[in-house]
Amino acid sequence: MLHFLKNKRIWFVIAWAVACFLFLQVYASYQFFYKEQMQLFLFSSDYWATYFSKPAWLACLSGDFLTQFFYFIGGGAVTVTLTLLVLGDVAYRALRRLLPDKYACLLALLIITWEALRNAGMYYTLNSTVALVGGFAVSWMMLSCRISNMYVRGLLYAFALLITYWMFGYGFWVLSILLLFRDIKSIFPILAIVVATVAVPLGLRSCYLLTRPQAYLYPNMQWMPNVDMGRERMVGLSVEAYFGNWDKVLKISNEMPYKSQFTTYFHNLAEAKSMRLADSLMAFYQPLNLGLYLQIGSDKSVFWILNSGEIWFEIGDMTMAEHSALLGQIFSNNRRSVRVAKRLAEVNLINRDTVAAQKYLRLLEKTWFHKKWAALRNPESMSKSVKEWLERKRSYCAKEDILRAGDINAAIRKLLDANENNQMALDYLLCNQLLMKNIVGFYADYAKYAKSLYMKRIYAEALLIYMAGSSEPVETTVVPYNIPASVYREFKDYTVHYEKGDTAYLKSRYGKTYWFYFHFAKKKA
């Protein structure tokens, strides 16, 4: 043991592993959670058989298996670090057959550092790293073989490249390059290596139905590292929302230096969850009403599409929640996702479509880390808390059918017709009208669904704008709507300064009011 610890290289490896773990934990921990959520690894022979439909079946099977462990806090960083250590070890062993020890060591270190950076990218999968592990492992074995007959050697190389491509996809490039270095002076082996390297992916791509670049690079999707703390925070919003940690969603969104439509979407959602959407609306960046809903289009990413359903699920619009989930499924890796399966199970349970829900629950029961979740929601063994949650969610669903035809507000009104206590839906309806500056529409919806019983400062401000534009004296309408006297006084003060054109005063005194937004917020060109 002591001898082991005296080896400086071991301490260096430990230091590298700790640094790698910390780097991945800081820059990619949320993205690791997201990667785990976007796959569905089943323990079933039929599912495993699907890996043979593309090259690199062993790399993808092993990579997806390991990705399951991203489920745990720190699991992603630990799993990737350990995989990189294995990669470093096999790379070193393979390279040592061709290079002096210190160069082999240095090159292996560069390779795993590069891989660590690539693994911090959102769309980089562990499958690609495992493909390299496989490539180096086969190279190590091949470089250990001593075959004097160059024809036998050449044929063996070609066969090894074929098998490596089949099992590890683009990991076969490692084997090809190292074998070329080894046999640089032997014409036949080089010919065999070059021909096999070019011909194997090209010949098999029709069977695998891949494009030329995909055939040569599968399962690698990204060459350059893409470390981005801003993206990590964005993914953090989505992941914390998925875990139901809405306070953390608020914390992340508040701390983000750059506020985007996506940030605002989750900030608004988190505020709405604690019934504070109306209170906080003007205190946060609002890109008109685009921060209330995420519009789906063919130009949007799978991440965007998947998250667009959160608002619909929370306010009770199960059709749109299912729509987003299914689109998320279509565009996810292998078109299977734990997160989507859970959402579809929930949606179908809420819709009382038990048969459809059980399909997804049975899928989840075939996983290691989500079967307990599925068991608690199985109609035959449903927990009491899930039953209560289900009843609450069902009470939010629309009871009258219309075709929404692009009208978000019409669909939300149906939710309010079904349950007037759906305060989240009401806030979204009213805030949408306000952010669109549709004061008449706001007043109509407020009068119908909120009445005077439900008063928030921003609604009082908007009602005063509406009343100022109506024929009746403002004073006569303030009382019935329970508009606080202080708000009315401020409105009069705001109006006086607005008419004077005193913008600086208005901004300093009323910059966070709806009045200021109403008059000065403009759509950016």
Partner 1 sequence: MFIVAVSALGFMAVSCGRLSVERAEALNQAPILMPDYAGVTVPATIAPLNFTLCDSFDVVDVVVSGAKGEPIHVQGTSVPCLPMDDWHVLLSENQGDSLSLQIHVQRSGKWFAFNPVPIYVSADSIDESVCYRLIAPGYEVYSKMGIYRRTLSDFNQTALVENTLVPGMCVNCHSFKQTNPAYFTMHVRGKNGATLVESPDHGMKAYSTKTDSTISSCVYPYWHPSGKYIAYSNNETRQTFHTMATKRIEVFDFKSDICVYNIATNELLSSPLLRTANYETFPCFSVDGKRLFFCVASEKSMPNELEEVRYNLCAIDFDAASGTFGSKIDTLFQADKLGKSVSFPRVSYDGRFLMFTMANYGQFSIWHKEADLYLLDLETLAVRPLDEVNSSDTESYHAWSSNSRWVVFSSRRMDGLYTRIYIAHVDESGKMGKPFLLPQEKPIEYYDALIYSYNIPEFCNGTVQMDLRNLENQLLSSEKPSFKYKK
CA angle (81, 83, 85) in 5-degree steps = 70
Find out whether 175 and 139 touch, Cβ atoms under 8 Å.
yes
Q: Please count the CA atoms within 13 angstroms of the CA of 497 that sit on its side-chain side.
A: 18
The distance of Cα 6 from the centroid of its chain, to the nearest Å, equals 44
For the bound state, the minimum distance from the C-beta of residue 338 to partner 1, rounded and expressed in Å, comes to 12
In the complex, the smallest distance separating the C-beta of residue 266 from partner 1, rounded to whole angstroms, is: 23
Please identify, using beta-carbon distances, which residue of 253 and 348 lies nearer to partner 1.
Answer: 348
- Closer to partner 1 by Cβ: residue 43 or 103: 43
State the Cα–Cα distance between residues 88 and 115, nearest whole angstrom: 10
Residues 378-384: contacts with CB within 8 Å, 24+ apart?
379/349, 379/354
Question: Which positions touch partner 1 (CB under 8 A)?
Answer: 42, 44, 46-47, 53, 206, 209-211, 214, 317-320, 322-323, 326-327, 329-330, 335-336, 347-348, 351, 353, 355-356, 359, 362-363, 366, 397-406, 411, 414-415
CA quadruple 390, 395, 401, 402: dihedral, nearest 10: -100
Q: Is 509 exposed, middle or buried (0-12, 13-18, 19+ CB in 10 A)?
A: middle
**If you ran DSSP here, which 8-state letter would residue 447 be given?**
I
CB of 316 to partner 1, least distance (A): 10
SS3 at position 93: helix
402 or 479: CB nearest partner 1 = 402
The least CB distance from residue 322 to partner 1, in Å, is 7
Least Å distance between CB 318 and partner 1?
A: 5
Q: Indicate the residue among 255 and 401 with the shorter CB distance to partner 1.
A: 401
Q: To the nearest 10°, the Cα dihedral for 120, 124, 125, 126?
A: -50
In terms of Cα–Cα distance, which of 454, 436, 435, 433 is closest to 444?
433
Residue 263 Cβ, how far from partner 1 at the closest point, in Å? 27
- Could you count the other beta carbons within 10 Å of the beta carbon of residue 433? 21
Return the number of the residue (402 or 440) whose C-beta is nearest partner 1: 402
CB 331 → partner 1: shortest distance, Å?
8
Shortest distance, position 37 Cβ to partner 1, whole Å: 16
Nearer CB in complex with partner 1: 392/399? 399
On the 0-12 / 13-18 / 19+ scale of CB atoms within 10 A, 385 is exposed
Whole-angstrom Cα distance, residue 489 to residue 491? Answer: 5
The smaller minimum CB distance to partner 1, of residues 229 and 330, is found at 330
- Please identify, using beta-carbon distances, which residue of 40 and 478 lies nearer to partner 1: 40
Neighbours of 407 (CB within 10 A): 11
Nearest to 59 by CA among 171, 136, 149: 171
Residue 112: CB minimum distance to partner 1, A: 30
DSSP, res 453: G
- Residue with smaller CB distance to partner 1, 257 or 297: 297
For residues 86 and 136, give the distance between their C-alpha atoms in angstroms, rounded to a whole number.
Answer: 10
- Between 76 and 316, name the residue whose CB sits nearer to partner 1: 316
CB of 402 to partner 1, least distance (A): 5
